[in-house]
Amino acid sequence: MNDAAATVVAQGLRKTFVGPDGNRFAAIDDVSLTVRAGELTALVGPDGAGKTTLIRMMAGLLKPDAGSLQVLGIDLTRDPQAVQDRISYMPQRFGLYEDLSVQENLTLYADLHGVPQAERRERFARMLEMTDLARFTERPAGKLSGGMKQKLGLACTLVRSPDLLILDEPSVGVDPLSRRDLWKIVQQLVHEEKLSVIVSTAYMDEAERCGQVFVFNRGRMLADGAPAKLRAWAHGVTFTARPPEAMPARELQARLIDRPELIIDAVPSGGSVRFIRRAGEDEKQLNEMLHDAPFAPRPEELEDAFMMLLRQAEDKDTKAAAKPAYEAPRVAAVSSNGANCQPVIVVRDLVRKFGDFMAVASTSFEVARGEIFGLLGPNGAGKTTTFRMLCGLLPATSGHLEVAGRNLRTARAEARGRIGYVSQKFALYGNLSVRENLEFFGGAYGLRGKALKARVAASLEQFDLEPSAQSGILPAGYKQRLAMATGLLHEPDILFLDEPTSGIDPLARRAFWRTITALAKSGVTIIVTTHFMEEAEYCDRIAIQDAGKVLALGTPHQVREQAGAASVMDMNSAFIAIVEQSRAQRETKGGAA
């Protein structure tokens, strides 16, 4: 009304919750913003920035403690229902009814939104086509893969054209292909229907596609503007360094990231390392550190600006942030030569069937000691099944499986003593304290007395954990650390990580991978699954699985080459290319037969 082009207008918005310590803290503190209509708007920020709280307030699910919030010209505190009648909202975990079929879910939401029958047919057809779910209309939603569920969730929110679409981290835990599809749908609708969309995300490449980006940290807004404007922050401080022959990119990255006084951020990419230096710092020191690695400027990206903003905010918050994020947890006790020839994981012709369904088809690979091995693939490709078999959680239908020199069929308990496991979801006891969790798992691994005390103390120190905090209400990044600490408590030879960084912000991801590279260096073998393709760059070797088959196996470089293009191609595109190639082949074969 007052501003027809604005969908959301917030003034001095504030929302507090009672924290774990019994004191109130502000999840959103004095936030004022205006969201323009007819375009994509991104909310970005690390864990605990307040994105979800803000989105829930916009959807009328939480009442602000102070300030005003207008959505579509309606005061939300006065008439939330009027807003809810006109917007569509997709929460982080969309509430699909898993026992209802795809069609029934769609029909339910169409009925609830009062979509007329005439309009409905066309809309359903379009949604099913866009989401590629037309083949599965009769399937119960619970039987869809994670990516398909997310697409169905989006379709359900879009059964009618809303005046405003709000998406809360729609791409968490979704593989690159489904993620691409999701964005295609959203962008198409913005383009065709002038849809206004607000989306929160942890992926900077997604934010880059938006017209306007708001950056949050700890309940406050750090910056806002078009991606180009934000990007300009990082102008002139972004570089790429090429590691010397035979040195994995992650080692160079580790060297860089361990010098926070010089380097804001570093991340391996396409065999090189992209980094951001601190402006105005001593040129000589930088040259000295990178004496064996030639580096050159590169164009800045939104992620660079985001990392700079966060580091700035962090520097202000904690003065003593100078120490490196993590230290190597174990003194390198194993010489890296020689030991490498001995594989610690041997998988030969591994098969797993569920009834008639072939989840994993004749898979073979070996993993050497101290290697970081990445298991990648779209949702429902069989990676989780493979992973669970490796951990001994699921017996194989046939094939040979050897972990830490023990046959998993015969010596499961024994083999389990030598592995550590960090699951996808936070799977520790939420109502126990950090120390209690560590002590329990230590005990379960047979540690006791002084040895247990010493290991717990060391883990607390190493992962910078507060022993008396209640585990269930830790921020996501800290939960992740606790899960890692638990997995490493008994100093295992092999560490299994199942999507360890899903839903975790870039800052915490960097710190996490710094620990992993240090562990690998000290001789621990790492098996990891992830949906962040850039994280595949940390791996020595990766395997890409789809439909139960291994499509590609080799170093990131080899895999990129297999995908067709040279090292310029990023891992994300390489992954999509490989999976699509194989799917196309399968289809032509199926068509011929």
Partner 1 sequence: MKTMRNFLDSLMKIMALVRKELLTILKDPSGRALLIGPALIQALLYGYGATYDLTNVPYAVHDQSRGAASTELLARLDGTGVFHRVATLTSSDQIAGMIDSGDALLVIGIPSDFETLRVSGQQAPLQVILDGRNSSTAGLASAYVSSIVAAYNQSLGGAPSVTIVRRAWFNANLESRWNIMPGLIAALSMLQTLMLAALSVAREREQGTFDQLLVTPLTPLQILIGKALPSILVGLIQSTIIFLIILFWFQIPMNGSVWLLYLGLLTFTVTSVGIGLSISAVALNMQQAMLYTFMLIMPLILLSGLLTPVRNMPEILQVATYANPLRFGIDTVRRVYLEGAGFSDVAYNFIPLVIVGAITLPLAAWLFRNRLA
Partner 2 sequence: MNASGFTTRLVALTRKETRQMLRDRSNLVVGLLLPVALILLFGYGLSFDVKNARLTVVLEDSSPTARQTVVGLQGSPYLAPVWVRTMDEAERLIRAGKTDAILRVPGDFSRQLADGNGRVQLLLNGVDSNTASTIEGYVSGALSTPVLQQADRTGNKSARAATIVIVQRTWFNEAGESTWYLVPGLIVLVMTLIGAFLTSMLIAREWERGTLESLFVTPVRPLELVLAKLAPYVVIGAIDLIMCLLAAKYLFQVPMRGSLMLIIGSSLLYLMVSLALGLFISGAMRNQFAASQMALLASFMPAMMLSGFIFDLRNVPVVIQVVSQALPATHYMSIIKTLFMAGDIWPDILRSCGILTLYALMLVAATRRKLGKTLE
- DSSP 3-state assignment of 177? helix
Instruction: Name the residue nearer to partner 2 (CB basis): 105 or 530.
Output: 105
Q: Does 432 bind partner 1 (CB under 8 A)?
A: yes
Instruction: Name the residue nearer to partner 1 (CB basis): 238 or 480.
Output: 480
Instruction: Name the residue nearer to partner 2 (CB basis): 88 or 386.
Output: 88
Residue from 124, 445, 513, 538 that binds partner 1 (CB under 8 A)? 445
Q: Work out how close the CB of 391 gets to partner 1 at its nearest, in angstroms, rounded to a whole number.
A: 5
Supply 566's token pair. 């040279």
Q: Does 429 bind partner 1 (CB under 8 A)?
A: yes
Q: Work out how close the CB of 446 gets to partner 1 at its nearest, in angstroms, rounded to a whole number.
A: 6
Q: Which residues contact 307 (CB under 8 A, 6 or more apart)?
A: 264, 265, 276, 506, 507
The count of residues interacting with partner 1 (CB under 8 A) is 31
Q: Does 448 bind partner 1 (CB under 8 A)?
A: yes
For residue 459, report the phi and psi dihedrals to the nearest 5 degrees.
-65, -40
Beta strand extents in 173-324 (DSSP E only): 197-201, 212-217, 220-225, 238-241, 263-269, 272-277, 295-297
Cα distance between residue 137 and residue 100, in whole Å:
10
CA distances from 482 to 265, 366, 438, 494 (A): 24, 29, 8, 18
CA distances from 118 to 110, 115, 134 (A): 12, 8, 19
Beta strand extents in 242-329 (DSSP E only): 263-269, 272-277, 295-297
Q: Work out how close the CB of 14 gets to partner 2 at its nearest, in angstroms, rounded to a whole number.
A: 15
Instruction: Name the residue nearer to partner 2 (CB basis): 16 or 572.
Output: 16
- Residue carrying the six token digits 């099913």: 128
Q: Does 56 bind partner 2 (CB under 8 A)?
A: yes
Instruction: Name the residue nearer to partner 1 (CB basis): 465 or 574.
Output: 465
Q: Work out how close the CB of 482 gets to partner 1 at its nearest, in angstroms, rounded to a whole number.
A: 12
| Binding range to partner 2, per CB under 8 A, among 77-85, 170-178, 395-403, 572-580 | 77-85
Q: Does 470 bind partner 2 (CB under 8 A)?
A: no
Q: Does 446 bind partner 1 (CB under 8 A)?
A: yes
Instruction: Name the residue nearer to partner 1 (CB basis): 137 or 424.
Output: 424
Return the residues of window 87-126 that contact partner 2 according to CB under 8 A. Answer: 87-91, 93-100, 104, 107-109, 111-114
Q: Does 479 bind partner 1 (CB under 8 A)?
A: no
3-state secondary structure 432-451: CEHHHHHHHHHHHCCCCHHH
Contact call for residues 540 and 370 (beta carbons, < 8 A): no
Q: Work out how close the CB of 398 gets to partner 1 at its nearest, in angstroms, rounded to a whole number.
A: 14
Return the residues of window 76-105 that contact partner 1 according to CB under 8 A. Answer: none
Cα distance between residue 218 and residue 212, in whole Å:
20
Instruction: Indicate which of partner 2, partner 1, none lies near residue 88 (CB less than 5 to 8 Å, by partner kind).
Output: partner 2
Return the residues of window 126-145 that contact partner 2 according to CB under 8 A. Answer: 140
Contact call for residues 368 and 347 (beta carbons, < 8 A): no
| Binding range to partner 2, per CB under 8 A, among 60-68, 418-426, 483-491, 504-512 | 60-68
Q: Work out how close the CB of 280 gets to partner 1 at its nearest, in angstroms, rounded to a whole number.
A: 47
| Binding range to partner 2, per CB under 8 A, among 78-86, 206-214, 533-541, 581-589 | 78-86
Instruction: Indicate which of partner 2, partner 1, none lies near residue 425 (CB less than 5 to 8 Å, by partner kind).
Output: partner 1
Cα distance between residue 147 and residue 144, in whole Å:
8
Instruction: Indicate which of partner 1, partner 2, none lies near residue 60 (CB less than 5 to 8 Å, by partner kind).
Output: partner 2
Q: For residues 445-480, b (16+ Cβ closer than 10 Å) or e, as one string?
A: bebeeeebeebbeebbebbebeeebbbeebebbbbb
Contact call for residues 333 and 522 (beta carbons, < 8 A): yes
Q: Which residues contact 84 (CB under 8 A, 6 or more apart)?
A: 59, 60
Cα distance between residue 308 and residue 310, in whole Å:
5
Return the residues of window 378-417 that contact partner 1 according to CB under 8 A. Answer: 391-393, 395, 413-414, 416-417
DSSP 444-486: HTT--HHHHHHHHHHHHHHTT--TTSBGGGS-HHHHHHHHHHH
Instruction: Indicate which of partner 2, partner 1, none lies near residue 443 (CB less than 5 to 8 Å, by partner kind).
Output: partner 1
- DSSP 3-state assignment of 145? coil
Residue from 62, 155, 293, 508 that binds partner 2 (CB under 8 A)? 62
Q: Work out how close the CB of 574 gets to partner 2 at its nearest, in angstroms, rounded to a whole number.
A: 34
Q: Does 468 bind partner 1 (CB under 8 A)?
A: no
CA distances from 120 to 33, 86, 127, 128, 485 (A): 35, 17, 10, 12, 52
Contact call for residues 504 and 512 (beta carbons, < 8 A): yes
Q: Work out how close the CB of 264 gets to partner 1 at its nearest, in angstroms, rounded to a whole number.
A: 35
Q: Work out how close the CB of 175 gets to partner 2 at its nearest, in angstroms, rounded to a whole number.
A: 21
Residue from 2, 410, 431, 468 that binds partner 1 (CB under 8 A)? 431
- DSSP 3-state assignment of 224? strand
Q: Contact residues for partner 1 (CB under 8 A)?
A: 391-393, 395, 413-414, 416-417, 419, 421, 423, 425-432, 436, 439-446, 448, 486, 496
Q: Contact residues for partner 2 (CB under 8 A)?
A: 56, 59-63, 80-81, 84-85, 87-91, 93-100, 104, 107-109, 111-114, 140, 153, 156-157, 166
